[in-house]
């Protein structure tokens, strides 16, 4: 019996339906998945056992239900069963493996939630990653290294920059726990300008077979250069050796008159931003891409569902920032979050809410601070976002969002430290409360990008770390109603070497208590007040990003009189906190997110 053949015209509606469904699934992938995964499914899912099993219905169920233990949200409210099935089919078809020799990968096609320390810029028709710095990591999923002997990379490097080094590292299996293989390091040379691109080759120290996550990591002095693209090649090439394993040693360390070793507490496939101990048993940690994690009794971390919707985008500093408990958390259960709140297509501003955790859900959410609509802007830079409590007063930082003039404008909340009550009310004794043109929550101004806030438990003074431009990172003691100078005075310069200000101090402007050039990328900070490390008591712990160090500073009458480095070259340390039992904990990214604690020996 002959099969029934339909006229081609009868197939057109069916074919159009298939084409439309595929296009719709592609759009849903871009909307729901690309922010955390690669923009191209082939660069992430080719090594996924779930996808490659070709069981689309099982994949669809995973999409609807999520994987909370791995930080994947559920999409059952965003998709119906048919849409989830079409999305599963799209991912499977799009992730079909193809040979990679000769393939060029655009630098901006990285996995955004697994990369850090970069920005996106454009010159003419060329989009590129900008200022790849020390500790920066650019990670690309689904890279088949079979037959690859070298990688050609197209980059630019401006005048005045010293030789700097970067590394290629391949991660296998589960990124958090799988093996990492250093493939070689390269020292970049000048190209004649920051947008004068040329192509060089880095040879791989060993040949690998199969699919990996490939990361480009900035090293000593910063691997500073602009990256346009890279191409997989089977041609031989050379590199400048391998000097770093990109793991944290568990050997005993002797620093600042104390002996200790470093223990890993937790690890995620993402970027940590903030740590907060709720009590002796529970630790909260924020992931920049939007997840709130809880570690209880040292068991596996679980993500908290129902937290606010945030802005998180490639090349943007936006995300979920600080988590901080209320000083009376034991009786009221309040937990505070700061984050980049999205508005429209690309605008955002720093917002603060509070809520409670019931089981593994975020509940009872209340708005504590939101800027006026005109301050939701499209800049992706300098959100600030740190929180600190002193009694019922909540202090928080907002950066100037990359627009210097905002920092000196008192009618503008950007580039300021603010003080409000724990419920969002404005204290009547704030320093500018009597100025009708000033934002009433302002506590101090003239700030560029405050990345750390803490209270000295002995003096109740507020301290802040602040990112300078190229050089000029600062430690400030924050006093009410004071101007901290940006951009009128600074110890740094623009990234292209041009002068921002010829003055580093001025009458009427509060000078930093310490400043650093080149910039270490100062981040979270806290005072150490425990007896577990008695020689560190009452000193200041400061995390750094670019320098990848944990610093210990001794103060005398509000001045820094000594600085020690407790840890170095361990990854971008985003935050430091002290547990109720007196152990310092650090959150770092190398490039996966890890939490370590320092244990006395």
**Residue 138 CA to chain centroid, in angstroms?**
12
- Write out 478-523 in H/E/C secondary structure: ECCCEECCCCCCCCCECCCCCCCCCCCCCCCCCCCCEEECCCCCEE
Q: Could you please report the per-residue DSSP string of 307-361?
A: PPP----TT---SEEEEEE-TTHHHH--EEEEEEEEETTTEEEEEEEEEEEETTE
Distance in angstroms (rounded) separating the CA atoms of residues 518 and 220: 12
382 flagged as catalytic: yes
Helix (H) or strand (E) holding 284: strand 282-287
Quick one: tokens of 529? 């007040």
DSSP-derived 3-state class of residue 12 = helix
Is 225 in contact with 164 (CB distance < 8 Å)?
yes
Q: Return the number of other C-beta atoms located less than 10 Å from residue 176's C-beta.
A: 15
Distance in angstroms (rounded) separating the CA atoms of residues 258 and 256: 6
Quickly tell me which residue has 């009547």 as its tokens.
Answer: 428
Is 523 in contact with 467 (CB distance < 8 Å)?
no
Q: Are strands 104-106 and 193-203 parallel, antiparallel or unpaired?
A: unpaired
Q: With CA atoms as reference, report the closest residue to 475 among 566, 414, 550, 542.
A: 542
Which residue of the set 37, 382, 447, 515 is catalytic?
Answer: 382
> Please, is 509 exposed, middle or buried when counting C-beta atoms within 10 Å of its C-beta (0-12, 13-18, 19+)?
middle
Quickly tell me which residue has 């975020």 as its tokens.
Answer: 362
Interior CA angle at 296 toward 577 and 327, to 5°? 50
How distant, in Å, are the alpha carbons of 109, 117, 246 from that of 224?
19, 11, 18
DSSP-derived 3-state class of residue 200 = strand
Q: How long a stretch of residues is the chain?
A: 601
How distant, in Å, are the alpha carbons of 106, 130, 515 from that of 195?
16, 10, 30
Query: How many C-alpha atoms does 32 have within 13 Å on its Cβ side?
Result: 22
Is 391 in contact with 399 (CB distance < 8 Å)?
no
Is 227 in contact with 132 (CB distance < 8 Å)?
yes
Q: Return the number of other C-beta atoms located less than 10 Å from residue 330's C-beta.
A: 10
Rg (CA), the chain: 25
Distance in angstroms (rounded) separating the CA atoms of residues 53 and 355: 40
Distance in angstroms (rounded) separating the CA atoms of residues 510 and 482: 7
Task: Report the DSSP beta bridge partners of residue 129.
Answer: 120, 227
Is 229 in contact with 106 (CB distance < 8 Å)?
yes
Distance in angstroms (rounded) separating the CA atoms of residues 66 and 585: 30
DSSP-derived 3-state class of residue 390 = strand
Distance in angstroms (rounded) separating the CA atoms of residues 516 and 510: 16
Distance in angstroms (rounded) separating the CA atoms of residues 571 and 264: 13
Residues taking part in catalysis:
382
């Amino acid at each position: 019996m002959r099969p029934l053949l339909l006229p081609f015209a009868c197939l057109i509606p069916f074919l159009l339906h298939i084409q439309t469904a595929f296009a719709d699934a592609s759009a849903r992938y871009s909307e729901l998945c690309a922010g955390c995964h690669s923009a191209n499914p082939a660069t992430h899912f080719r090594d996924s056992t779930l996808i490659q099993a070709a069981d689309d219905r099982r994949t669809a169920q995973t999409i609807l239900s999520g994987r909370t233990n791995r930080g994947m949200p559920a999409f059952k409210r965003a998709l119906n069963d048919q849409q989830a099935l079409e999305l599963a089919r799209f991912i499977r078809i799009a992730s079909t493996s193809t040979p990679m020799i000769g393939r060029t990968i655009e630098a901006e096609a990285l996995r955004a939630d697994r990369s850090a320390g970069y920005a996106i810029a454009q010159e003419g028709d060329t989009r590129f990653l900008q200022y790849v710095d020390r500790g920066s990591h650019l990670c690309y999923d689904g890279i088949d290294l079979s037959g690859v002997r070298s990688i050609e990379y197209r980059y630019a490097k401006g005048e005045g920059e010293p030789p700097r080094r970067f590394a290629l590292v391949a991660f296998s299996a589960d990124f958090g726990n799988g093996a990492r293989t250093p493939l070689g390091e390269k020292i970049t040379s000048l190209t004649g300008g920051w947008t004068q691109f040329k192509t060089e080759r880095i040879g791989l120290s060993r040949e690998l077979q199969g699919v990996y996550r490939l990361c480009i990591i900035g090293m000593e002095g910063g691997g500073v250069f602009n990256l346009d693209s890279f191409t997989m090649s089977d041609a031989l090439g050379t590199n400048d050796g391998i000097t770093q394993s990109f793991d944290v040693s568990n050997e005993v360390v002797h620093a600042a008159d104390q002996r200790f070793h470093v223990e890993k507490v937790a690890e995620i496939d993402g970027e940590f931003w903030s740590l907060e101990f709720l009590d002796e048993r529970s630790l909260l940690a924020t992931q920049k891409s939007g997840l709130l994690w809880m570690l209880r009794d040292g068991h596996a971390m679980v993500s908290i569902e129902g937290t606010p919707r945030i802005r998180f985008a490639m090349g943007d500093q936006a995300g979920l920032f600080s988590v901080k408990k209320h000083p009376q958390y034991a009786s009221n259960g309040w937990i505070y979050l700061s984050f980049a709140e999205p508005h429209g297509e690309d605008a955002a501003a720093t917002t603060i809410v509070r809520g409670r955790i019931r089981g593994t859900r975020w509940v009872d959410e209340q708005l504590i601070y939101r800027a006026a609509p005109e301050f939701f802007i499209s800049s992706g830079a300098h959100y600030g976002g740190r929180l600190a409590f002193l009694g019922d007063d909540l202090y928080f930082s907002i950066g100037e969002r990359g627009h210097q003039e905002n920092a000196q404008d008192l009618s503008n909340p950007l580039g300021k430290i603010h003080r409000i009550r724990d419920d969002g009310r404005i204290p009547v004794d704030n320093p500018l409360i009597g100025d009708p043109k000033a934002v009433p929550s302002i506590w101090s101004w003239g700030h560029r990008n405050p990345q750390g806030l803490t209270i000295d438990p002995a003096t109740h003074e507020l301290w802040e770390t602040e990112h300078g431009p190229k050089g000029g990172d600062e430690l400030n003691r924050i006093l009410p109603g004071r101007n901290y100078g940006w951009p009128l005075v600074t110890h740094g310069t623009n990234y292209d070497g041009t002068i921002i200000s010829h003055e580093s101090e001025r009458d009427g402007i509060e000078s930093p208590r310490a400043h650093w050039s080149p910039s270490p990328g100062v981040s979270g900070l806290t005072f150490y007040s425990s007896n577990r490390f008695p020689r560190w008591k009452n000193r200041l712990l400061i995390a750094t990003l670019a320098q990848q160090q944990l610093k210990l500073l001794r103060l005398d009458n509000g001045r820094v009189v000594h600085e020690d480095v407790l840890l170095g070259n361990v990854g971008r340390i985003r935050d430091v906190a002290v547990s109720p039992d007196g152990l310092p904990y650090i959150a770092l990214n190398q490039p996966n997110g890890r939490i370590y604690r320092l244990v006395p020996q």
